[in-house]
Amino acid sequence: MPSDGKRNSRCTAMQESDHLFEKVLDLSENGLFLIDSERKIVLWNEWMVKASSIERDEAIGFTFSEVFPALAGKRVASVINAALDSRTASLLSRSLNKAIFPLFFAGGNGEKHRIEQSVTVKPIRSNGDDYCLVQITDVTSMVQREEVLKVLAKEAEEALHAAEDVSRFKSEFTSTVSHELRTPLTSIRGSLGLVSSGVMGALQPEVNKLIDIAYSNTERLLFLINDILDIDKIESGNMSFVMEAVDLMPLLKQAIEANQPYGDQYQVHYCLKEEVAQGIKVHADRDRLMQVFNNLLSNAAKFSSENSDVEINVIQKGGMVRVEVKDSGIGIPLKFQSRIFEKFSQADGSDTRKVGGTGLGLSISKAIMEMMKGAIGFATEEGKGTTFYIDLCLYDAEKVT
Ligand SMILES: Nc1ncnc2c1ncn2[C@@H]1O[C@H](COP(=O)(O)OP(=O)(O)O)[C@@H](O)[C@H]1O
Ligand SMILES: [Mg+2]
């Protein structure tokens, strides 16, 4: 039998350890309360006192449903029963945005705000008795952050929709304006051409010069508008192709003849070197193929040195035919080569550049070649010249349906 003195000192030690234990629980940043098998609350920490405004002596010794009458019959009550009866632990708030217990914190202006909670319910066995520990974590700031993120995500989505609308509007606007401009410009060009040709009567040389400038500027604008409309068609997937058997050599010769007057401006002569057998047919859209030839031939002349030849070779290889346009001009600078097929890209984009153009021709040519299941490429050496080539599919009547 322990003496009275010993018993007293053990009691004091236990009381001290209980006291220490309660202090530790009171310092916790979580809400903690313990329920015994009779559903009575036996521990209620300081966090709970503050958040629920229920003092310790109003909670301890009372049943869970007496303390939280509004929660009787709710899921939290059955989870607590399950923890005590069948010792099952539960995480109550699967989604964070839940305020299970009526708990509040005071805001800066003295207003009370509901605490968003994450609640775990755990069975505990001690000295043969069953308890249930309820632990509450304040997740208000996480929920608020989540809400802010949701708002931001919604705003970002709205901004994206607005940008898509603007882009659609821009494309429709470009197309409408370009169409509206093309008709009057074509008529202006026609009239200027007539006046300049002298059929309307002879003009003073100075006036004639001005008319010529106006004519060539109108023509430049028309080229730009046609290119923009083509890009618009490519990007909206509305460029239509009539794929057929195209007699290659006559079309190429026609392109060379049509471009020779332009070549003459740069004193460049086109010469068709290698020819494949007459009658060779490629699978292509005639007008679009002509457009690609026009761009490659005009580029070769623009970027050639004066009094030089541009060589055109046609080589057949397997089921493909390659058309090469070879100039001995300025070449393409290395740092520009990777961007050459991009829209509006020109090696010399300055206002003072000597030759005209939109920087759209190669980008359109590439799209056309890809849509005709062909290819476009180049080999170049700065200061020596450039060879552009296109690969076309041979027309095979059996394969093409
Ligand atoms: N044969 C070539 N030699 C040198 N540079 C070329 C040649 N062809 C094209 N380029 C470069 O590529 C750019 C883009 O060509 P392109 O898309 O046809 O537009 P544009 O002819 O309207 O300038 C040209 O401005 C030029 O800088
Ligand atoms: Mg061009």
Q: d(Cα 173, Cα 369) in Å, to the nearest integer? A: 27
- Nearest protein Cα to ligand 1, atom 9: 299
Q: Percent of the chain having pLDDT more than 90?
A: 46
Residue 329 Cβ inside 6 Å of ligand 1? The answer reads yes
The Å distance, Cα 216 to ligand 1 centre, comes to 20
> What confidence tens digit (pLDDT) does each residue in 15-48 have?
777 788 888 899 999 999 999 999 999 999 999 9
Domain membership flag for residue 105: yes
Does the residue 330 lie in any domain?
yes
Confidence of residue 6 (pLDDT cuts 50, 70, 90): low
**What's the domain count of the chain?**
3
Same domain, 195 and 123: no
From residue 47, how far is each of 74, 79, 184 by CA, in Å?
Answer: 23, 22, 80
308 C-beta closer than 6 A to ligand 1: no
Q: Stretch 43-72: mean pLDDT, rounded?
A: 94
CATH code, domain with 384? 3.30.565.10
Helix (H), strand (E) at residue 151? helix 140-197
Residues 226, 210 share a domain:
yes
Mean pLDDT of 233-262: 92
Write out the DSSP string of 78-114: HHHHHHHHH---EE--SSS----S--EEE-TTS-EEE
Please tell me the number of the ligand nearest to residue 302's CA. Answer: 1
- Domain end position, chosen among 200, 235, 270: 235
Q: Are residues 252 and 389 in the same domain?
A: yes
Residue 359 CA from chain centroid, whole number: 25
**What single DSSP character describes residue 73?**
T
Please report the atom of ligand 1 found closest to the CA of residue 360.
17
Question: What's the pLDDT tens digit per position in 66-110?
Answer: 999 999 888 888 889 988 988 777 776 544 446 789 899 887 777
Task: Judge if the beta carbon of residue 365 lies within 6 A of ligand 1.
Answer: no
Q: Verify that 249 and 378 share a domain, yes or no.
A: yes
* 43: nearest Cα among 68, 25, 24, 65: 25
The closest ligand to the CA of 362 turns out to be 1
Q: What is the DSSP string of 224-282?
A: HHHHHHHHHHHHTT------EEEEHHHHHHHHHHHHHHHHHHTTEEEEE---PPTT-EE
Residue 317, in any domain of the structure: yes
Q: What is the pLDDT of residue 319?
A: 87
Residue 315, ligand 1, Cβ within 6 A: no
Does one domain contain both 328 and 250? yes
254 and 388 share a domain?
yes
Same domain, residue pair 254 and 322: yes
Ligand number with the minimum distance to the CA of 359? 1
Same structural domain, 20 and 107: yes
Based on the fold, state whether residues 288 and 375 are members of the same structural domain.
Answer: yes
Determine if ligand 1 sits within 6 Å of the CB of residue 347: yes
State the residue range of the domain holding 297: 244-393
Give 236 Cα–ligand 2 centroid separation in angstroms: 22
Expressed in angstroms and rounded, the spacing between residue 348 Cα and the centre of ligand 1 is 9
CA 393 to centroid of ligand 1, rounded, Å: 25
Q: Identify the pLDDT of residue 264.
A: 94
- Calculate the alpha carbon distances from 13 to 7, 18, 26, 79 in Å: 10, 9, 20, 36
Q: What CATH number does the domain containing 155 carry? A: 1.10.287
Examine the fold and report which residue of 112, 138, 164 is the final residue of a domain before the chain moves on. Answer: 138
What is the pLDDT at residue 92?
66
Task: Tell me whether residue 398 is in a domain.
Answer: no
275 lies in the same domain as 370: yes
Rounded Cα distance between 109 and 146, Å, is 24
Q: Is the CB of 357 under 6 A from ligand 1?
A: yes
Q: Is the pLDDT of residue 226 over 70?
A: yes
**Residues belonging to the chain:** 401
Domain assignment of residue 334, yes or no: yes
The mean pLDDT of 318-342, rounded to a whole number, is 93
Domain membership flag for residue 399: no
* Other CB atoms within 10 A of residue 48 CB: 27
Q: How many CB atoms lie within 10 A of CB 21?
A: 11
203 shares a domain with 83: no
